[in-house]
Structure 1
């Protein structure tokens, strides 16, 4: 009954708005499953796209506006102009979930990579964060391959050059769309933020505008110490994609 009362109220508003003029023109729309009174022909409507935007519009509608409260009441009607674009596409993909660094030998790097792809129509862009659950650690045992310090220095928020494979460690590099500027080229790496000791996750992709099919490559790199125990090492990397609306 609550929904019915609200329906009557809406019809009353429309009735008052359209029945007082001596002459009015309207269109009644119907099918087997619906009947709409006081419809109208729009001047124009549609979806416009460009390299950096997607725009939907409706021009020339009568009785435009949102009615009801989306998600908090028994009904919601979004009519006319696009005051509230209810459902935007959000897509985040990781090309593969199993990273294999291979057999690690002292003085040589083991590497692998995958790609991150994101699409979001949110007007405020997006951020993708990353962190590790723990350092590379032996599956059976407590031995670790420490997070990289690069050739001389780098941190979770500032990449550094890492070309010397005798500098043991584990880290990553970013290239492609919307990556942090400190990844100057493929020789620049960071260690992952270590969630085990409470380090804050770090942004690896971000934009302040609409993202359409943005892709970045994550390259993983590890080098063992000269006295590294011959074992299988593993960790988990977590990516958190946050759209902005």
Structure 2
């Protein structure tokens, strides 16, 4: 059985000002169904300059830029104080995940490694969602896992124990940097949110720590019952990495 994972990497930064004939300035609302950008002001110009003897990076437009201090406090105002020397990057080690031939009551796993480089003054997050359950072209589906059930029933936002060979479904585990606290062991899983059910993407990595390499391993798991119809099952899982500044 095969299914495939793709990544959709979203970084949005734009701002536009318009001046009317009366001299009034109007800011354009920066939002869509997937993002909202809020800012009190914006850079009107920016760039990198260099020669054999210097390198200069600048922005123009910040009001009252500079460092201000007194007894008990220091205020650093200006875009350059938020300038990051670590570019934001997001990578996935393997985007073609093969769970192999599934056997009833015999869980199968595969994994991929998510890596984030982040150096801004805000924080980043990585979210995930499946476009549909694992299913065949004819519509047979492997249900999303509920883990062991009972007191160990997992949800899209809460990982629970899934180690029973008679608990069926499809889900994922997280291990590594900046992951949700409910992934307390390699046996704790969640189901993916399902876009077909209008469920919200799940945050699987989030941090304000500055680093050139924050890594987390995402393990996919599937387990089927003896009455699961035969066929080739597949789905698409989307990942979105978003920085804030």
Return the TM-score normalized by structure 1: 0.66
- The structure having more radius of gyration, on CA atoms, is 1
Specify the alignment match of 1:143 in structure 2: 140
The separation in 1 between residues aligned to 2:61 and 2:180, in whole angstroms, is 42
Q: CA deviation at 1:230?
A: 0.8
The 3 A distance-change label for structure 1 pair 244 and 151 is same
Contact 1:123 1:209 in 2 (8 A): no
Specify the alignment match of 2:236 in structure 1: 236
Aligned residues: 176
Specify the alignment match of 2:199 in structure 1: 199
The separation in 2 between residues aligned to 1:220 and 1:88, in whole angstroms, is 30
The 3 A distance-change label for structure 1 pair 91 and 230 is same
The root-mean-square deviation of aligned C-alpha atoms, in Å, is: 2.7
Return the TM-score normalized by structure 2: 0.66
Greater Cα offset, 85-94 or 97-106: 85-94
Structure number with greater CO (CA < 8 Å, separation at least 6) is: 2
**Runs of 5+ consecutive residues of structure 2 not aligned to the other structure:** 1-49, 63-78
**Runs of 5+ consecutive residues of structure 1 not aligned to the other structure:** 1-33, 36-40, 47-57, 59-64, 70-80
The separation in 1 between residues aligned to 2:143 and 2:60, in whole angstroms, is 57
Deviations 1:181-206 (CA, angstroms, capped at 9, x unpaired)? 00000000000000111000010001
Specify the alignment match of 1:133 in structure 2: 131
The separation in 1 between residues aligned to 2:133 and 2:59, in whole angstroms, is 51
Q: Decide which structure has greater helix share.
A: 1
Deviations 1:121-143 (CA, angstroms, capped at 9, x unpaired)? 111120000000000011x2110
Structure 1 runs of 4+ with >2 Å offset = 65-69, 81-88, 208-212
Name the SS for the 2:80 alignment partner: coil
The separation in 1 between residues aligned to 2:135 and 2:240, in whole angstroms, is 23
Deviations 1:15-45 (CA, angstroms, capped at 9, x unpaired)? xxxxxxxxxxxxxxxxxxx99xxxxx9xxx9
